[in-house]
Chain A
Amino acid sequence: MNNMNTILEVKNVTKAYEMGKNNRQTVLKDITMTIQKGEFVSVMGPSGSGKSTFLYAVSGMDRATAGSVKFCDMDFSSMSEDELAKVRLSKMGFVFQQSNLLKNLNIFDNIILSACLSKREAKKEIKERADRLMEVTGIAELKEHSITQASGGQLQRASICRALMNQPEILFGDEPTGALNSKAAGEVMDILLKINQSGTTILLVTHDARVAAKTQRVLFMMDGVIAGEKEMGKYQEQKGDLKIREQKLTEWLTERGL
């Protein structure tokens, strides 16, 4: 890796699906990019542009057809499924559009599950950290609730807590606010910003310019390639420049036909 600060290095990644005989659909085409430690990067683009496929290919959830993905100097292409699972457990966090919590566990158990599995700490410490995260994300009162007793926004916060329990190097989000109303989406974004400010790298896919406006860098995808990249700078809430950032981003996206 060239830069000591690079956490994710993507080189000539291609992802194609075989759709039967003589029918190959290439969703990602020769993508190359890097993400630095502590960055907050968002990926935008029209439906079918390959945003989610890109996210899962670079996070090791899905395997690239060609090219290489290096995360913390580990090459995903040479790793087994179990090795990838261990990386996901110890160094990555995922937040999906749906909260994806396990149905037979209450919210608190869902949050501490991955930490208990990794066995890096005693259960007491795990529980204390889960309490703090629930406090920070504003769902402390839901501790004993089942997942059917919470709203979509609350569940999404719970899944953020779960993703952060093992103090990951990077957090991947696939439309984490996609299923939420604007108020809940705003609250979830604020939490993600706080997490990023505390040093966690974030890469998220979104179709919402208001969400992307809060990120540091925006990648624009079109037809399986990164068609543009906009450096937005760090968002600082106290400056009150969100509207300006949103406006600039919208103009930039409009220029690219979105």
Chain B
Amino acid sequence: MMLRMLKNDLKRNKIITATLCSFMILAAMLVSGAVSIILTLSGSMDTLLERSDAAHFAQLHAGEMEQADVDAFVSEHEKLIKGQQTVELLGISGANIYIGGQAHSEADSLMENSFVRQNKQFDYLLDTNNEVLEVSDGEIAVPIYHMQRYDLHIGDQVRVENGEFYKDFTIVSFLRDSLMNPSMINSKRFLVSDGDWGSLHEQLGEIEYMIEFQLYDTGKLQELETLYQDSGLPQKGTAMGYSLVKVINAMSDGIAASVIILIALLLTVIAALCLRFTMLTTIEEDYREIGVMKAMGISNGDIRKLYMVKYAVMSAAACTVGYLISLLAQNIFTANISLYMGSGKQSVWNKLLPIIGAGIVFAAIIVFCMVVLRRFRHISALEALRFGMAPDKRERLGKHTLSGSRITNVNLFLGLKEVSDRFRVYGLLCFVFILCSFLMIVPINFLNTLQSPNFVAYMGAGKCDLRLDLQHTPDIIARYAEAEEYLKKDSDVQKYAALFTCSFKVQGDAGEYENMKIEIGDFTKFPLEYTLGSAPQNEHEIALSAMNAEEFDKKPGDSLTLLVGNEERQMTVCGIYQDVTNGGKTAKALLPFDLQQTIWFTVNIDLQPGVSLEEKRQEYSEMFYPVKVTDVKEYIYQTLGGVIDQLGLVIKLAFLLAVMVAALITAMFFRMLIAKEARQIAIMKSMGFTVFDIMKQYFTRAVLILISGTIIGTLTANLLGEKLAGLLISGVSQMRFVVNPFYTCILCPIALILTVTVTIGFSRRTIRDIDVMLAAE
């Protein structure tokens, strides 16, 4: 009998059942998939770090160094340090590198490419089988990032050229790099043979050192970092710790897993809502039969079981299918992880936990069903038999009357009155519309903000047209002087300001000194937007980035001790700003500095109106080589390009999902409502209301709820969405969306209104099929 009931029910609600099952399948699939991602990520990362024998601490240094000093430091701390090696990175400008036979060089890429030899002690560069790479002369191993970006294959060519000199390499493998793997790290290592490295070094490039350490106990990483910073050893460059490496490696795929889990949660909620509507409609339609069963003496529990089995079978089947699909799709879910980190060790948990994930979706649905089916208790056998439908508990009429209303259109009036009298009934639908608006608007606003020229405010810089960047080189002073001289004379330049970043020691809470990179220069020409306070005005004021302010627990007015020269200086925190660059930890002050000690310098430039940005960029690129010249819009795109591209996809998916959810929930909600109000509809038909008249009433209700939902959704998207977006980009404490009113106030609401209109249009048949004779029963 159960099987027959199930079959009949599936036949009766083919489309709804199919949609409902799809949502359950998707939810189960995504939860299983996300669990797989997390497990694979953790396993693969451990394997990569183990096979590469990763370094625990690495300090980059541009400039001269004495290995003997480092050796002395190692001997001094031999109980702490297990191993040390100094890697020579041969930095070659992008303009000299041509990858995969492409006509254009890597000049426009933000990636800093360096050529290295295989390490001898640890931090090995691995191939795609996680084996230590060995290359012969004329061969090269290219980072996975480049392979993915240019769709490279084994056998493709890489050319390095400089004037007359050129050298071609054949790609023999793609390399996994435990330190520089992720696309978020803008340094990449290419592996060549020792001989080729030597011949390249003779012709071009600049050496940067990476001083690497391995510890006996990775828990003592902080201790080593502090000892190193205090030792006066070479440190003109970024430092990376083992934990940071792990976080950065896990970040992009970890975020993907979190987003998938969020979507799965959303789908589970939607599936639950759909299920609720389906069940309530079925109960409404079966009301008389339920009454008969009750009158026959069948208990509530037994009746509930009849319905429960139906949905339990459906959700069990859907969750099983979802899990099976996730097994098939596992490679897609974990493709990126496998590509960048390889496969990790498989344990029984890799199989068991995804099943548990799908099981949780199943359990959530069943619990939800049980809650909904509790309403059987409230059905009176007598009322069910007499009226065939749930009695309407409304006693009180709303204050709006047709006779007193100025609205002359009866259908419009009836639609409005229904919603205003019974807004609670429509609360759920309103919530869905809020959710849909939120889903549509947040990614659009986020993208719009990222693409806005004002976004530079979140990058710790004022708005400008072009910027010049130069990392430390021995001739940094000469290069800066040359650039400044040129800019001073260039009539196309409206204004410019140079900012120098130097490392200072700052006292932490426990009295220990830590390094902090501080930008020094004229902050008035390109003013920055401060979330709190303002720019430093004198030599005793310092502005901190939001992340630094959080780390040191400082707010404007607080004091901070800095070592300037060899003297302690009490600085007052004057402002806090947002910065997503350089790991988000920066500061700005007006301090005396030695240009020779500058880690890098930046020059912000505004051009005269009408001057071509691109031409100027090219001119400066040639003139100031190897200074990197960036169009700021392009700079934002290159820094956040990955996020922007992904957001484009998210926008499309979110838009589609929102439209689908709005259509589905509207269809189900109104189907339930129409089933409940079938007799009222028949009465109206008997009075002479046409199907179109009645549809107008339902349309009015839907649009009214939609407008309320969209308004609340848009406001929520702006308020809550800004916080959510701020969480996604580290370094941004307070994001203010740049709203494009065309998208948020016109396009998204119109898309939802059209969706709802079309959906209500589909309910025409349901309304038409209600027999007017029902009024006579």
Contact = CB atoms under 8 A, between A and B. Distances in A.
Do A and B come together as binding partners? yes
A56 B683 contact: no
Contacts of A101: 683
B687 A105 contact: no
B401 interface: yes
A25 interface: no
Given A52-B776, A109-B401, A123 B408 contact: yes
Interface string A94-123: 101100111111101100111011110001
A90 interface: yes
A88 B690 CA distance: 10
A39 to B, nearest CB: 22
B773 A106 contact: no
A108 B402 CA distance: 9
Contacts of B687: 88-89, 94, 113-114, 117, 162
Interface centre among B395, B417, B684, B688 (most CB of A within 10 A): B688
Contacts of B421: 104
Contact of A127 (B403, B773, B775): B403
Interface in B668-687: 680, 683-687
A112 to B, nearest CB: 6
30 contacts: A52-B776, A56-B773, A61-B772, A61-B776, A62-B772, A81-B691, A85-B688, A87-B688, A88-B686, A89-B687, A90-B688, A94-B686, A96-B775, A97-B776, A100-B686, A100-B775, A102-B683, A103-B392, A108-B401, A109-B402, A114-B688, A116-B408, A117-B410, A117-B687, A117-B688, A123-B403, A144-B401, A146-B396, A146-B397, A148-B395
A127 to B, nearest CB: 6
B403 A102 contact: no
B3 to A, nearest CB: 22
Contacts of A88: 686-688
B216 interface: no
Contacts, number: 94
A9 interface: no
Interface residues of B, number: 32
A95 to B, nearest CB: 10
Interface string A20-64: 000000000000000000000000000000001000100001100
Interface in B373-419: 392, 394-398, 401-403, 408, 410-411, 417-418
Given A85-B688, A117-B688, A96 B401 contact: no
B692 interface: yes
Interface residues of A, number: 40
A82 interface: yes
Nearest to B413: A116
A90 B688 CA distance: 8
Contact of A146 (B395, B680, B691): B395
A106 B418 CA distance: 13
A81 B689 contact: no
Contacts of B410: 113, 116-117
Contacts of A116: 402, 408, 410
Interface string B470-498: 00000000000000000000000000000
Interface in B691-729: 691-693
Interface string A119-150: 10001000100000000000000001010100
Nearest to A110: B402
A86 interface: yes
B383 to A, nearest CB: 15
B8 to A, nearest CB: 16
Contacts of A85: 685, 688-691, 693
A117 B690 CA distance: 10
Contacts of A174: 776
Nearest to B686: A94
Given A81-B691, A85-B689, A86-B690, A103 B680 contact: yes
Given A62-B773, A123-B408, A104 B397 contact: yes
Nearest to B408: A123
Interface in B528-547: none
Contacts of A148: 395
Nearest to A109: B402
A61 B773 CA distance: 7
Interface string A62-95: 1000000000000000000110011111101010
